[in-house]
């Protein structure tokens, strides 16, 4: 899903090679390559206007440009409202770390405002989400893999994004899955934390429904029927829609503070893990091998 460039020294010259985290052609983003295009003005159930599109991305920029600046890099969000592409991308070129966000994705019927914010968090997660990293032919890539970017999205980024909202009031106006409410109340005790957990999980459902729609799947997604597939080794690619929903849900109910630092080499640092005795909120085995 990612486009980037790394510089390799070749004798006295420099050779620029593309480093992609999803495929070597760089044709896949938060979803696999698709031909769906939703232009400005297309009839849609989405309520995301250009003003809301920009305000969401303004907030992500305000929160994370300083974080990335502290690493000596510049954070850029490419805002392509007029582009009907239904996807999103991340790339690194030199000291510039970029995410590209498209109006076509924001206009998709499945995408809520929180879901769109979670897309930005996923793309940001490729830059700062930590291990496991995507592997490529030359070794470990700069990018956190797909499942990890999803997990970072709900366990870290979206909590930061929502922390100052009147979350209880927002949730009171939402149609919330009963299983989500029950699990969030079991894992958190503060009203605001419970409400953030609920919002994060339901944002994950928004994206799960996007993945399901693009795959033309008729299998319903559910918070109570997790993907039973168990990988033999960590899968760097896009998991199935149910597996991705499981990952978003796990991130939302992970009790580790979003402020805890993460590691580029140790997947246990800063996240809920079985090593620390956690049972809820751990990365699903449908893509992650502990």
* Residue positions counted in the chain: 290
> What angle in degrees, to the nearest 10, is found between the helix axes of 113-128 and 191-214?
90
88 close to 116: Cβ distance less than 8 angstroms: no
Structure-token pair, residue 137: 């032919």
Distance CA 77, CA 185 (A): 35
Give the N- to C-terminal CA distance of the chain in Å, as an integer.
Answer: 23
3-state SS class at 2: strand
- pLDDT per position in the chain (290 positions), as tens? 554 433 323 322 333 333 444 443 344 689 988 999 999 999 888 889 999 999 999 999 999 999 999 999 999 999 999 999 999 999 999 999 999 999 999 999 999 999 999 999 999 999 999 999 998 766 668 999 999 999 999 999 999 999 999 999 999 999 999 999 999 999 999 999 999 999 999 999 999 999 999 999 999 999 999 999 999 999 999 999 999 999 999 999 999 999 999 999 999 999 999 999 999 999 999 999 99
Q: Which of 97, 115, 287 is nearest to 200 (CA)?
A: 115
**Enclosing H/E stretch for 34:** none
The whole-angstrom separation of Cα 105 and Cα 115 is: 10
**What's the pLDDT at 135?**
81
Percentages of the chain per state (helix, strand, coil), in multiples of 5:
40, 15, 45
Q: Is 237 buried (19+), middle (13-18) or exposed (0-12) by CB count in 10 A?
A: middle
Distance, in Å, from the CA atom of 19 to the CA atom of 93, rounded to the nearest integer, reads 10
For 210, the token pair is 């996007």
Is residue 162 within 8 A of residue 174, CB to CB? The reply is: no
**Structural domain boundaries in the chain:** 5-276
Residue of 199, 177, 192 lying closest to 251 (CA atoms): 199
CB 67 within 8 A of CB 23: no
Q: In what order do the strands lie in the sheet with 88-93?
A: 13-18, 5-10, 88-93, 96-102, 74-80
């Amino acid at each position: 899903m990612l486009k980037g460039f790394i510089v390799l020294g070749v004798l006295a010259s420099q050779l620029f090679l593309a480093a992609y985290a999803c495929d070597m052609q760089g044709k896949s983003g938060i979803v696999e390559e698709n031909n769906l295009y939703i232009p400005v003005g297309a009839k849609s159930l989405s309520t995301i206007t250009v003003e809301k599109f920009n305000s969401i991305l303004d907030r992500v920029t305000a929160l994370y440009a300083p974080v990335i600046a502290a690493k000596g890099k510049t954070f850029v969000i490419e805002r392509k409202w007029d582009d009907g592409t239904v996807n999103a991308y991340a790339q690194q070129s030199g000291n510039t770390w970029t995410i590209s966000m498209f109006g076509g994705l924001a206009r998709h019927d499945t995408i809520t405002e929180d879901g769109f914010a979670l897309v930005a968090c996923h793309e940001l997660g490729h830059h700062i989400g930590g291990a496991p990293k995507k592997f490529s032919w030359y070794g470990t890539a700069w990018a956190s893999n797909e499942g990890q970017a999803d997990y970072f999205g709900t366990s870290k980024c979206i909590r930061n994004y929502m922390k100052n909202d009147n979350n209880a009031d927002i949730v009171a106006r939402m149609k919330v899955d009963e299983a989500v409410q029950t699990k969030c109340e079991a894992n958190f005790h503060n009203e605001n934390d419970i409400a953030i957990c609920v919002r994060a999980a339901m944002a994950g459902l928004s994206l799960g429904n996007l993945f399901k729609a693009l795959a033309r799947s008729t299998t319903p997604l559910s918070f109570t029927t997790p993907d039973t597939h168990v990988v033999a080794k960590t899968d760097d690619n896009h998991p199935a829609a149910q597996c991705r929903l499981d990952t978003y849900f796990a991130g939302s109910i992970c009790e580790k503070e979003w402020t805890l630092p993460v590691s580029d080499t140790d997947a246990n640092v800063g996240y809920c893990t079985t090593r620390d005795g956690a049972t809820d909120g751990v990365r699903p085995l449908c893509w992650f091998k502990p």
